[in-house]
Chains A and B, each alone.
Chain A
């Protein structure tokens, strides 16, 4: 019972490259979220999804693209990576009881050189 998984856990890429971070959950939770965590900024919401084929922007969506064709997957794509996108990215799901009662994945540490 893995719950929520993210892959890869670590990624180094070059400026301008496209990168996709994967998130998979086994609970069938309807809501899924992508956050980035940076020193001094805490967690910032990038995108979220209320259900399959429904996505919406969060606080810092520029430079990112998401899709949700299946309930269990919520990939995050950086179309043309920039150094400012070096960060730790967390995927989370919502149990449905309350928006803030979320379950987080282990994170992906992305470095853009």
Chain B
């Protein structure tokens, strides 16, 4: 069965330190993968996407993600956290039949 798992429901980092939000997927073929961000009381916004081109994908606001087929992972990273990065992040898988699967989300807290 196809699925997406965000390994942490909450992540806390200090401002200026690296961010790592983990996402694993299960699929019998290489899917398209996305990360979305949701700030408080806002809708979701696309951060970045992987669609079988370069495995390292750069997104907005300094975020990037690396597709690792051998690990079935698509972890989201940022070298230096900023207070404005505090939000909820969703990993999303898009399958061949156009079905979309959302992860449960990871809430990122930034400590001053």
Contacts and interface: CB of A to CB of B under 8 A. Distances in A.
Interface stretch (B22-30, B45-53, B63-71): B45-53
A112 interface: no
Interface stretch (A60-68, A70-78, A101-109): A101-109
Given A42-B104, A98-B32, A101-B49, A90 B93 contact: no
A19 interface: no
B91 to A, nearest CB: 10
A52 interface: no
Contacts of B44: 43, 90, 92, 102, 104
Which among A41, A100, A106 has the highest number of chain B CB atoms within 10 Å?
A: A100
Interface in B85-112: 90, 92-94, 98-100, 102-105
B46 A106 contact: no
A105 B43 CA distance: 5
Interface residues of A, number: 18
B90 A100 contact: no
A45 interface: yes
B58 to A, nearest CB: 16
B93 A100 contact: yes
Contact of B90 (A41, A43, A106, A107): A43
Contacts of B61: none
B105 to A, nearest CB: 5
A4 B32 CA distance: 24
A45 B100 CA distance: 9
A101 B50 CA distance: 11
Contacts of A98: 32, 49, 51, 94
Given A107-B41, A107-B42, A100 B104 contact: no
Contacts of B49: 98, 100-101
Contacts of A92: 43-44
